């Protein structure tokens, strides 16, 4: 019996993106993940395999999803600045660059991150 492995379109896009980009101590990777409930962002140093800072929409109340996502971008930029990080590599995680993903990126740029 042959086992069939099905991977989603997002997984294929994510693997294609990750083959081209990686984060370092000087320029970590800003990784985005979005679920139906929340939006997550973290800065990752791929050389050491560790997360430097992280933020999510789990603690924002009274805003719609897009406004909360923008707040996550601003928060991750503020945390990055406190660690002395100004430049990042953006990893959209296979998601299309629109809506909440775009809001996180715009929030991070407003907060002072360069990518």
pLDDT at 5: 65
Question: What per-residue confidence (pLDDT) applies to 25?
Answer: 84
- Domains in the chain: how many in total? 1
Structural domain boundaries enclosing 71: 9-110
70 in any annotated domain:
yes
Query: The domain that contains 81 carries what CATH number?
Result: 3.30.420.100
Locus of tokens 């791929």: 46
**Residues 81-84: contacts with CB under 8 Å, at least 24 apart:** 81/111, 81/112, 83/52, 83/53
Residue 34 CA to residue 66 CA, distance in Å, equals 11
Is residue 66 in a domain? yes
Domain presence at residue 115: no
4 falls within a domain: no
Q: What is the pTM of this model?
A: 0.86
Assigned domain for 101 exists: yes
| pLDDT tens, the chain, 115 aa long | 566 666 788 888 899 898 988 888 889 999 999 999 999 999 999 999 999 999 999 988 778 999 999 999 999 999 999 999 999 999 999 999 999 999 999 999 999 999 9
Residue 46 lies in a domain: yes
pLDDT at 24: 82
DSSP string computed for 82-113: HTT--B-EEE-TT--SSTHHHHHHHHHHHTT-
Query: Does residue 61 belong to any structural domain of this protein?
Result: yes
1 occurs within a structural domain: no
Give the model's pLDDT for residue 98: 93
């Amino acid at each position: 019996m042959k086992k069939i492995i099905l991977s989603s379109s997002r997984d294929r896009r994510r693997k294609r993106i990750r083959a081209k980009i990686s984060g370092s101590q000087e320029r970590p990777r800003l990784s985005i993940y979005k679920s139906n409930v929340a939006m997550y962002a973290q800065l990752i140093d791929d050389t050491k395999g560790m997360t430097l800072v992280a933020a999510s929409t789990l603690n924002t109340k009274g805003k719609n999803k897009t406004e909360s996502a923008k707040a996550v971008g601003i928060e991750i930029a503020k945390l990055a600045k406190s660690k002395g990080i100004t430049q990042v590599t953006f990893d959209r995680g296979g998601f299309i660059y629109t809506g909440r993903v775009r809001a996180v990126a715009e929030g991070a740029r407003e907060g002072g991150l360069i990518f």
